[in-house]
Amino acid sequence: MANLIKMDMRRMFHAPMFYITLIIVSAFNILLNFALVSVSKLFMSSQAVKPTTFSDIITTPFFISLLIILMFASVIAFFYADISGGFIKNIAGQLPRKSYLIVSKFIVGSIHNLIFMVAGVLSYLLGCLGLSAMGMITLTDDGNILAAVMTLLLKWLLSVAIISILLFVSNGIQNKVLASVIGVIIGTGSLGLAYMGLNTAIDGIFHSENFDIGSFMPDTLLGNVNVAANTAVLNALIVSLVCIAVFLTLTVKVFNSRDVK
């Protein structure tokens, strides 16, 4: 298993898609931050310089949420590369269990997401340091650094839960297009409209009040969880672990039941 993980790590780090998407995410984190602050200063020059806390930077690895689509696109490309290339059958034949392929991909995919999130935080911080040096913003410490790091870790865990779904679709069902569509839908937050409809239906059937199915979904929790404010912390942890356990198990079972081609 260790050698398989090393091979998958090497495969990921040799993939052009990984570097292209990582560079785009980092560049946009810096450029969009500069653009937004510059436009704000242009139209509201009389207002005081807006303070930005280090905890806000840490808890916001992607300056705009749509950038998460690039992270999902990169991990899907990694998940499906050995299937599309056809060399997965050569690897599977040398393993005692085919399920090792899935577990290895899941572990490396989790590392992939951690790299993206850390790069996002660092690039966002770099942009803020540049703006601070230019006097366009002020950086402050609100004393919530530890809570911010914990929030980032929970967001990473939620992103891992999401890629467990993408792994099931791309390797269990073996449909890269569907996995990509799901990644885009999750990244754009389009499922929020579906959740609103389900909430209305559930409220009407069970006569409940303020039921929110989004509070049990990893994509919604990814945007809402906050340790400092004690928002959705327990939900995020439970939903992540349950989602990972369910979809990783499903992927292994479906993958083992199919011939490797």
Domain extents in the chain = 2-257
pTM, full prediction:
0.91
Q: What residues form DSSP beta bridges with 53?
A: 140
What is the chain's mean pLDDT, rounded?
A: 89
What confidence tens digit (pLDDT) does each residue in 94-129 have? Answer: 777 888 899 999 999 999 999 999 999 999 999 999
Over residues 158-189, the pLDDT tens digits come to 999 999 999 999 999 999 999 999 999 999 88
More confident residue, 122 or 35: 122
**Enclosing H/E stretch for 241:** helix 233-257
Query: What pLDDT band is residue 63 in, cutting at 50, 70 and 90?
Result: confident
Q: Which segment of 40-44, 78-82, 105-109, 210-214 scores lowest on mean pLDDT?
A: 40-44
**Nearest residue to 170 via CA among 244, 110, 71, 102:** 102
Which pLDDT does position 205 carry in this prediction?
76
Predicted pLDDT of residue 203: 72
Among residues 221, 224, 227, 223, the alpha carbon closest in space to that of 147 is found at: 227
pLDDT > 90 fraction of the chain, expressed in percent and rounded: 62
